[in-house]
Amino acid sequence: MQNRNVLLCVSGGIAVYKAVALVSKLTQAGMTVKVIMTESAQKFVTPLSFQVMSKNDVYFDTFDEKDSSKIAHIDLADWADLIIVAPATANIIGKLANGIADDMLTTTYFATTSPVWIAPAMNVHMYDHPAIKRNIARLYEDGCKFIEPSEGYLACGYVGKGRLEEPEKITQLVVEHFQREANKQ
């Protein structure tokens, strides 16, 4: 998995804590991981947590250019071999499906030509809402792959489909993806 670049885009839901573990697992598997966080994601976990786990700067402001010789969201979009949006909230899914580019995560998404995987995490009723289903269908049509949420106890107290898939499972899927890519070459 050396020389494989994964850009993890983290939107703001309680499952953000699992995204920290995902960065750890991907890094342990030998990948280079960079992280973009939405403003809402920063309410749950600080950028420092992701910085420590990834050993890379964390991006959250479209206008904060860490290297003045590059435009950060374009550079990250080009850098990534794979983009994973996890957790993907109803809000971020709606923005991506409807062409809204108003933060670092969304502008980077629209600038990439890399594969994009989306891992939803939300309340069971939100996940089952017709608007969310429409947005997911549109993103499928746009070429995104989805990592389905698992069923179980949700932070809101409900039981059902909506839990962010476990970091170990997502890491396994990423490793398998890169192995298939290597076998094609």
| Helix and strand totals (H; E) in the chain | 8, 8
Give the HSE-up count for residue 140: Cα atoms under 13 Å, Cβ half-sphere: 9
pLDDT tens for residues 88-135? 999 999 999 999 999 999 999 999 999 999 999 999 989 999 999 999
Q: What is the pLDDT of residue 1?
A: 60
Question: Would you state the pLDDT for residue 158?
Answer: 73
Choosing from 156, 160, 161, 166, the catalytic residue is: 156
Residue-wise pLDDT for 50-95, tens only, equals 999 999 999 999 988 888 888 899 999 999 999 999 999 999 999 9
Q: Pick the closest to residue 76 from 9, 155, 169 (CA basis).
A: 9
C-alpha distances out from residue 92 to 24, 30, 135, Å: 23, 28, 10
Is the Cβ–Cβ distance between 41 and 16 less than 8 Å? yes
Q: What confidence category does residue 145 fall into, taking pLDDT thresholds of 50, 70 and 90?
A: very high
pLDDT at res. 54: 98
pLDDT at residue 153 greater than cutoff 80? no
3-state SS, residue 128: coil
Q: Could you give the angle at which helices 90-97 and 130-141 cross, rounded to 10 degrees?
A: 50
**Sheet (strand 5-10) strand order:** 58-59, 32-37, 5-10, 82-88, 116-120, 145-146
HEC profile for 133-157? HHHHHHHHHCCCEECCCEEEECCCC
Question: CB 78: neighbour CB atoms within 10 A?
Answer: 15
pLDDT of residue 2: 74
What is the residue type of 105? L
In this prediction, residue 150 carries a pLDDT of 85
pLDDT on residue 64: 85
Amino acid at 41: A
130-148: average pLDDT: 97
pLDDT at 50 (0 to 100): 98
Domains, in order of start, for the chain: 5-184 (3.40.50.1950)
pTM of the model: 0.95
pLDDT 10s digits, 1-21? 678 999 999 999 999 999 999
156 among known catalytic residues: yes
